Structure 1
Amino acid sequence: MSAIIIDRPTADGTVLECEARATADLERFLTGEPFRTEYDVPIEDVPEGVLAIPVLAQVCPVAWASGADVYVEEVDATFARALEDVRETLCGMYDFLEGGTLYARRTIDPNPPANGESGLLFTGGVDSTCSYVRHREEEPTLISIRGWTITPDPDDDEKWRQLTDRVEAFAAERGLETAFLESNMLSFLDHPMLLAHYKRYVDGAWYSSVGHGLGLLGLCAPLAAARGMEDLYVAATHWEGIELEWGSRPDIDDSVRWAGTRCHHDGYELTRQERLDVLADYVRSDAPDLELQTCNVRMDGNCGRCEKCYRTAVGLRLAGLEPTDHGYSFADHEYERLRVALEDGEWVLGQDERYMWEDIRERAREVEPESATERAFFEWLEDVDLDDLVSESGPPLSHRLLRAGARNAPSSVYNRLYPAWTAARAGLRLVRSDR
């Protein structure tokens, strides 16, 4: 019988640790590292059933992919019911997911006092900043997570410092609290092995396509319990009308809950361009110096040369803002370079980028271009087949072969070859894992 067994979590000050074990057929998906998350508030008084939520939020989708069951000593009863709802959604979204059952020796149903606090997962990008603007009357705590796009590796220390400095500055200007947590959720799971097995079924990587809605919100459970947060918001990436298989959607995120806290997938009714409209109104009324951070390359500002920087800069112009005033070095001559890069397949694009460029194209039909160069780009965008821009992007053949080899290797062989596989991880970087 396939199973993942979760040992009892321990809380030492601000640090949560937990061991997980798997039957032989699932061992390859766990690296053997204990699951570990560090918060910036003490969590020792948080009930064990809530402390189990972060690790369960990571391993349950992995178990469901193999039809395996998960065993835990104690779990929050509300979260156990939430997992059933999320499982139903994910299994309906992906044919390769088989489902499974959570077995708990005990369930708890605490009744924490309501205090009206809220939290928002925040990076400073378009989506999370729009969600802040929409809920700013609640004065939400801004929550930033290290462990996905910024890894716990020492090489990423500077990126994490840059992000926390920027979020703290944003919060200080608005009288908000911040919360920062660091987790090894992706090195606790063998993400390259998950990618090797399941990349053929998903548009992005495992965590972006399957795990990140439940996973990121679940990480916040001890923090929310310690701080008394009743509402926890995560900004939507997509919007109504986009039918993509993605790990963060209303029918996933709105289902996540535990005693005293409900989670919300925010802004799904707005396209990305409409979210930029919300930010443009906020700039004009309250924040003329607002700067966004969306870059796929750096964290200490925006490179202005990656696809996401260009896409955001064009969107800002269409919203009536000057990109250079809000963190993007962009001038008319960049339109030609952007067109060539898109035509030449310089960036790996997925279906979500296709929808976002389509959103820009629809808005461009309503806006008078500011220059001949801008007009030429929008005319090109009107005529180009966006599907061609996506279909010609993809990982190199060597990456696909490496995935296939790892996927088909018996566990005993894989375990012997694991050091070589680890060395090859750099070639299997997460694709489009940004929000």
Structure 2
Amino acid sequence: MSSIRIDRLTADSGTLECSIRATSDLERFFTDESFRTDYDVPIAAVPDGVLAIPVLAQVCPVAWANGADIYVDEVDATFARALADVKTTLCEMHDFLEGGTLYARRTIDPDPEPGDGSGLLFTGGVDSTCSYVRHREESPTVISIRGWTITPSPDDDGKWDALRTRVSRFADDHDCETAFVESNMLSFLDHAMLLAHYKRHVDGGWYSSVGHGLGLLGLCAPMAYARGMTDLYVAATHWDGIDLEWGSRPDIDEHVRWTGTRCHHDGYELTRQERLDVIADYVRSEEPTLQLQTCNDRMDGNCGGCEKCYRTAVGLRLSGLEPADHGYPFAEGDYRRLRRSLERGEWVLGQDERHMWADIRERARDTDPATPAERAFFEWLAGVDLDDLISASEPPLTHRLLRAGARNAPTPVYNTVYPAWMAAKTGLQRVRSDR
């Protein structure tokens, strides 16, 4: 029987570490690294059943994809029930998921100190900034996570330092506390092999399409328990009416909970353009110099030339703001460059980007263009087939063949060619997040 066992769980000061043992058929989905997460708050006094949550949140979807059972010594009873609810949602959403059973020697119902704090997963993008505006009266702790869009690799140290600096400045300016979480959750998992096996079933990567709602919220459990957070918010990427196979949705995130904390999928009733409207109202009433950060290529500002930067700049204009005042170098000539890049398929786009451009198109129909260049772009956008823009962005055939080869290779063969596979890994990954 396929199984994954959580083993040797330890907590030393702010560091959580454990290893897993997987049956031979599942070994390829894990690297040789132990699972490790670092918090900026002591967690040694957090019960083991809560300490197990971060690794379970990463491992369980892998187990469910293979019909495997999961074994752990101790688990928080509230989270065990949450996992059952999340499993139901994910298995209904993805027909390649088979499910599996969590077995624990002990389930616990700890009695934490009463708390009244809240937390918000935060990058400074459109979605998380909108959620801050909506919940600013709570002064939520703004939480930034290293391990997904910013990897634990030394190559990403500069990005992480830039994000920490920027989020810390935001927290100081808005009288909030910060929490910084660093994890190797995607180098502990063999994300490249997960892509090789399951990319054909999902629009995007394994973590974006399957794992990140449960995974990112679960990472926060020991920190939230230690800080007394009763509510934890994660900003919605999509909105009501979009039915995509995406790893963070209300029917996933709203189920995630553990003793003392409930999680919330925030802003789902608002489209992305409406979230920009919320931000625009806040800018006009309280903070005229508010800066946004949505660029995945940079963390020390926005490059201004990627699809997400262009999309955000156009959205800001539609909400009545000048992009350059909020972190986006944007001139009239950029409308022509944006159209050309979209037509040429220069960016890898998915169905979520299609919906976001459709949202912009809908708003543009009710907006008087401010310039001839803007008018020309909106007229083009009104007539273009957005599905054609998505199909023009298909990954190369060589990437699809490489995934198929890795998927079908016996484990010893896979291990032999692993370095070559890793060299191609970057080209296979597409991580999309507005948080």
**Band of TM-score, shorter chain:** over 0.9
CA-to-partner distance for each residue in 1:78-104, whole Å, 9 max, x for gaps? 000000000000000010000000000
Match of 2:94 in 1: 94
Match of 1:379 in 2: 379
Range with bigger deviation, 235-244 or 108-117: 108-117
Match of 2:370 in 1: 370
Match of 1:262 in 2: 262
Distance 1:187 1:329 in 2: 34
Identity value in percent: 77
Displacement after TM superposition at 1:395 (Å): 1.3
Q: Which amino acid aligns with 1:29?
A: F
Match of 1:252 in 2: 252
Displacement after TM superposition at 1:415 (Å): 2.1
Does the residue aligned with 2:25 lie in a helix, a strand or coil?
Answer: helix
After the TM superposition, which residues 95-174 of structure 1 pair with which residues of structure 2 at under 5 Å, given as runs? 95-174=95-174
TM-score, normalization: structure 2? 0.99
Match of 2:74 in 1: 74
Displacement after TM superposition at 1:392 (Å): 1.6
Distance 2:233 2:18 in 1: 26
CA-to-partner distance for each residue in 1:262-306, whole Å, 9 max, x for gaps? 000000000000000000000011110000000121111001100
Match of 2:178 in 1: 178
Match of 2:61 in 1: 61
Displacement after TM superposition at 1:144 (Å): 0.1
Displacement after TM superposition at 1:434 (Å): 5.1
Distance 2:40 2:189 in 1: 23
Gaps of 5+ in 1: none
Distance 2:165 2:153 in 1: 18
CA-to-partner distance for each residue in 1:216-252, whole Å, 9 max, x for gaps? 0000000001101000000000000001000000000
Distance 1:86 1:241 in 2: 20
CA-to-partner distance for each residue in 1:99-155, whole Å, 9 max, x for gaps? 000000000001223321000000000000000000000000000000000000001
Match of 1:312 in 2: 312
Match of 1:398 in 2: 398
Does the residue aligned with 1:25 lie in a helix, a strand or coil?
Answer: coil
Distance 2:110 2:220 in 1: 17
Distance 2:55 2:66 in 1: 18
Say whether the 8 Å CA contact 1:149–1:434 is kept in structure 2. no
CA-to-partner distance for each residue in 1:369-414, whole Å, 9 max, x for gaps? 1011111110100000001100121211111111111000011221
Say whether the 8 Å CA contact 2:280–2:321 is kept in structure 1. yes
- Are residue 235 (structure 1) and residue 238 (structure 2) matched? no
Q: Which amino acid aligns with 2:164?
A: T
Match of 1:18 in 2: 18
How many residues align? The count is: 435
Distance 1:426 1:307 in 2: 18
After the TM superposition, which residues 326-365 of structure 1 pair with which residues of structure 2 at under 5 Å, given as runs? 326-365=326-365
Q: Which amino acid aligns with 2:159?
A: K
Match of 1:42 in 2: 42
Q: Which amino acid aligns with 1:32?
A: D
Does the residue aligned with 2:97 lie in a helix, a strand or coil?
Answer: coil
Does the residue aligned with 2:26 lie in a helix, a strand or coil?
Answer: helix
Does the residue aligned with 1:413 lie in a helix, a strand or coil?
Answer: helix
- Are residue 275 (structure 1) and residue 275 (structure 2) matched? yes
Distance 1:393 1:99 in 2: 32
Distance 1:50 1:135 in 2: 26
Match of 2:290 in 1: 290
Distance 2:252 2:343 in 1: 35
Say whether the 8 Å CA contact 2:57–2:218 is kept in structure 1. yes
CA-to-partner distance for each residue in 1:28-82, whole Å, 9 max, x for gaps? 0010210000000110000000000000000000000010000000000000000
Distance 2:272 2:134 in 1: 14
Distance 1:433 1:321 in 2: 22
Distance 1:376 1:202 in 2: 35
- Are residue 198 (structure 1) and residue 204 (structure 2) matched? no
Gaps of 5+ in 2: none
Q: What stretches of structure 1 move > 4 A for 4+ residues in a row?
A: none
Q: Which amino acid aligns with 2:201?
A: Y
Say whether the 8 Å CA contact 2:237–2:434 is kept in structure 1. no
Q: RMSD of the TM alignment (CA)?
A: 0.9
Q: Which amino acid aligns with 1:66?
A: N
Distance 1:408 1:39 in 2: 38
Distance 1:296 1:143 in 2: 18
Match of 1:409 in 2: 409
Displacement after TM superposition at 1:421 (Å): 2.2
